[in-house]
Chains A and B, each alone.
Chain A
């Protein structure tokens, strides 16, 4: 019993002083401040953002399939060769080899660019699709913002650990979407938006996993 009490007091002290259980556990684990300990926290950060991105992709997948039930794309679009994804201009690796070949900094930048590019469109989408799965749209919009912060933290940590150069910077440019319009065309656009975001969220998840296995391979790939 006394042992339990002391541990409870320690936890309370840690909570009040540390400012959160996560930091308490991190402090408890990394009390010595060793290098391996910091790598462990980086791996945990990676796991967190990967989990985040998986959830984000799952929501986008659900939204897309829901949209497909309500709106069947007309046959006109089947023959189209390229999509109107606004992120089509971004050069993203489209195979495993390409993702492994490009530099770590470049990969990190691509991830950040994607996340930045989708912040406003998703916000617009949430505003527009007020009656249709607005909770999912809002969650998606929030998630993309949170995920961007998380990846920025990961990039910063990698830079402090010397794993990547300091050339990675958070992109400030934003892609402007054309103003939303009413009507079926708007829905189509939203449908395309969802289709494009579904694809891009899968890209983000895959790139993060590849990056983790390149940076901290010993912590599970």
Chain B
């Protein structure tokens, strides 16, 4: 038991001592490469080999074309660990450098492979700086203005180097990780660029990189984000629909107005009421017998004073037109109506209320009227004049007498040539009992020819009513 334990400890000690005493020369380091950020200085990096267990130092040696001798790295510290920095005094271009790294410890050295470089070939600048993004709100489509600055250590004023820029941008989806593909753009030697076709409300990511002359591209700059603002034009569909709706409503209203223009006109411009004789049916008189017509006429031949007339709404008066050639002269009792179309000339007077229609003075009044006619109207023997007149004669509501002043002198323009239907009134049978004599002054003729009670039309339209 004791022997076994002793053997085991001895073996363990041997192992541990062998492990502890495992010293060897260092492994060969590897030169990774060199880089010049501005074509004026450069840096080289290496990777140490296997550690030999002892403190190891690494040294970089170089030889240069057109330069005799072997030199050591001038600066081991500025570029960090395992790197060598060559400043302006030690950097020459268009000449070959032959670099080696030697790792050495107490037991030995290890030399890396030779790396041949020409500064012309190892140029790779730093990324552009100070990238600024500005969204421009243009009329139809917003655009994104990108501007940046050259890397700080690059001299752009002497012509020694020419910087060329490249831009890439993509739209970032909200929330989710999915994004669109990068789109690359060449910006030439400018330090600005404008991206078109950016969608309002989207978030954009932009990166810029550069290269010197025909060297390697730098790494992409830090990503810059920008949100394109929602411009007023985003709400355009809303306003367009509002406008369209209001336009449609306006058109609909217009169509309705056009279709119902008659009623609209009636509403806005009330038509002048046409005159009519209350209680007399024109159609009946047209088609009826002359006796009936006469009786109807005679019954309603009461011509009350003007005063009473003013009270009634439905009184109508017949007006003769001066231009028709009717002359004022003594009324001739000879009424002869010659035109067969005298029916159109029939005008009827409604009896004003309060007037006794039973008044037997209808005759008298008729005569009166004749007399009145005589004072005011002279009807031609041939009724051609009357006919003409009737086209110009129109019936007036007694209430409109005052408005006669407003009527123009030439009534022909004012008159509605259409005949108007009259209010049919029951003709009392007793009226028929007293038919007016046919002979009486040619009333019968008058009936056919147009019994007219004329109101003289003064030139200025002022009526003078006489009965």
B-facing residues in A177-221 (Cβ within 8 Å): 199, 202-203, 206, 209-210, 212-214, 217, 221
Q: How far is the CB of B198 from chain A (nearest CB, A)?
A: 30
Interface-facing stretch out of A2-10, A15-23, A95-103, A136-144:
A95-103
Q: Tell me which of B98, B116, B158 contacts A221 (CB under 8 A).
A: B158
Interfacial chain B residues near A95, Cβ < 8 Å: 40, 88, 91-93
Q: Given contacts A61-B214, A97-B88, is CB(A206)–CB(B160) below 8 Å?
A: yes
B-facing residues in A78-127 (Cβ within 8 Å): 78-79, 81-83, 88, 92, 94-97, 99-100
Give the one of A78, A81, A92, A99 with max B CB within 10 A.
A81
Asked if B65 lies at the interface with its beta carbon under 8 angstroms from chain A, I say yes
* Bound-complex Cα distance A85 to B91 (A): 20
> Across the interface, do B158 and A100 meet the contact criterion of CB distance under 8 Å?
yes
Interfacial chain B residues near A82, Cβ < 8 Å: 65-66
* Bound-complex Cα distance A202 to B212 (A): 13
Asked if A58 lies at the interface with its beta carbon under 8 angstroms from chain B, I say yes
Q: Given contacts A58-B214, A81-B63, A199-B118, is CB(A96)–CB(B94) below 8 Å?
A: no
Q: Given contacts A79-B114, A81-B98, A202-B120, is CB(A212)–CB(B159) below 8 Å?
A: yes
A-facing residues in B88-112 (Cβ within 8 Å): 88, 91-96, 98
* Bound-complex Cα distance A88 to B98 (A): 18
> Across the interface, do B65 and A199 meet the contact criterion of CB distance under 8 Å?
no
Asked if B155 lies at the interface with its beta carbon under 8 angstroms from chain A, I say yes
> Across the interface, do B98 and A92 meet the contact criterion of CB distance under 8 Å?
no
Q: Tell me which of A92, A209, A221 contacts B94 (CB under 8 A).
A: A92
* Bound-complex Cα distance A100 to B40 (A): 13
> Across the interface, do A83 and B159 meet the contact criterion of CB distance under 8 Å?
no
Asked if B157 lies at the interface with its beta carbon under 8 angstroms from chain A, I say yes
Number of interface residues of A (CB under 8 A): 27
Interfacial chain B residues near A79, Cβ < 8 Å: 98, 114
Interfacial chain A residues near B120, Cβ < 8 Å: 199, 202
A interface footprint on B42-70 (CB within 8 Å = 1, 0 otherwise): 00000000000000000000011110000
Q: How far is the CB of B76 from chain A (nearest CB, A)?
A: 22
Interfacial chain B residues near A213, Cβ < 8 Å: 157-159
Q: How far is the CB of B294 from chain A (nearest CB, A)?
A: 90
A-facing residues in B105-152 (Cβ within 8 Å): 114, 116, 118, 120
A-facing residues in B145-187 (Cβ within 8 Å): 155-160, 162
Asked if B276 lies at the interface with its beta carbon under 8 angstroms from chain A, I say no
Interfacial chain B residues near A99, Cβ < 8 Å: 160
Q: How far is the CB of A13 from chain B (nearest CB, A)?
A: 36
Asked if B39 lies at the interface with its beta carbon under 8 angstroms from chain A, I say yes
> Across the interface, do A202 and B94 meet the contact criterion of CB distance under 8 Å?
yes
Q: Which residue of A lies closest to B118 (CB)?
A: A199
Q: How far is the CB of A82 from chain B (nearest CB, A)?
A: 5
Q: Which residue of B lies closest to A94 (CB)?
A: B92
* Bound-complex Cα distance A212 to B160 (A): 10
* Bound-complex Cα distance A202 to B93 (A): 10
Q: Given contacts A61-B214, A95-B40, A95-B88, is CB(A221)–CB(B159) below 8 Å?
A: yes
> Across the interface, do B159 and A209 meet the contact criterion of CB distance under 8 Å?
yes
Interfacial chain B residues near A221, Cβ < 8 Å: 156-159
* Bound-complex Cα distance A126 to B360 (A): 146
Q: Which residue of A lies closest to B98 (CB)?
A: A81
Give the one of A79, A95, A221 with max B CB within 10 A.
A95
> Across the interface, do A78 and B162 meet the contact criterion of CB distance under 8 Å?
no
Q: How far is the CB of B114 from chain A (nearest CB, A)?
A: 6
Q: Given contacts A100-B158, A209-B160, A213-B159, is CB(A94)–CB(B93) below 8 Å?
A: yes
Q: Tell me which of A83, A199, A210 contacts B160 (CB under 8 A).
A: A210
Interface residues, chain B, with chain A CB atoms under 8 Å away: 39-40, 63-66, 88, 91-96, 98, 114, 116, 118, 120, 155-160, 162, 214
- Could you pull out 30 A-B pairs where Cβ atoms are within 8 angstroms? A61-B214, A78-B114, A78-B116, A79-B114, A81-B65, A81-B98, A83-B96, A94-B94, A94-B95, A95-B88, A95-B91, A95-B93, A96-B39, A96-B40, A96-B158, A100-B158, A199-B94, A199-B118, A199-B120, A202-B94, A202-B120, A209-B160, A210-B160, A212-B159, A213-B157, A213-B159, A214-B159, A217-B157, A221-B157, A221-B158
Known: A79-B114, A96-B155, A213-B157. 12 other contacts (CB 8 A): A58-B214, A81-B63, A83-B65, A88-B66, A95-B88, A95-B91, A96-B39, A97-B88, A199-B118, A209-B159, A209-B160, A210-B160
Smallest CB-CB A-B distances: 10 pairs: A213-B159, A209-B159, A94-B92, A96-B160, A221-B159, A210-B159, A82-B65, A199-B94, A221-B157, A94-B93
